[in-house]
Amino acid sequence: MAKAVVTVIGKDKPGIIASVANTLADHNINILDVSQTIMSDIFTMSMLVNLEKLDEEFNKLQDDLTVLGKHLNVEIHTQREEIFDAMSRV
């Protein structure tokens, strides 16, 4: 299964989770796991997502999430799971 990790960080405000989830759904991406917290007024979220039904190129997804992040005034990063796997090998 092709997976990716989506991270979001920025000043907390209503609608961040909904906006990211809707954008992922628009690309036929299923959220497998999510962790979010607010530290003081800083919102942080990590999502593990399934890319198997991604409806277009991965770079397009990254671009769309980057644009969304700018609109929400948060940083959104998306990285394929195999990058994390490669980084953890010794």
Q: Mind listing the pLDDT tens digit for each residue in 22-77? A: 999 999 999 999 999 999 999 999 999 999 998 789 999 999 999 999 999 999 99
Burial (CB count within 10 angstroms: exposed 0-12, middle 13-18, buried 19+), residue 6: buried
* Domain around 13: 3-88
For residue 32, the Cα-to-chain-centroid distance in whole angstroms is 11
27: domain CATH number is 3.30.70.260
Which pLDDT value is given to residue 90? Answer: 59
- Which pTM value belongs to this model? 0.89
Count the domains in the chain.
1
- In this structure, how many other beta carbons lie within 10 angstroms of the beta carbon of residue 24? 23
Which pLDDT value is given to residue 40? Answer: 92
Distance CA 55, CA 84 (A): 23
Conformation bin of residue 41: beta by default, left when phi > 0, alpha when psi is -120 to 50: alpha
Q: Which residues pair with 37 in a beta bridge?
A: 44
Distance CA 58, CA 44 (A): 23
Which pLDDT value is given to residue 36? Answer: 95
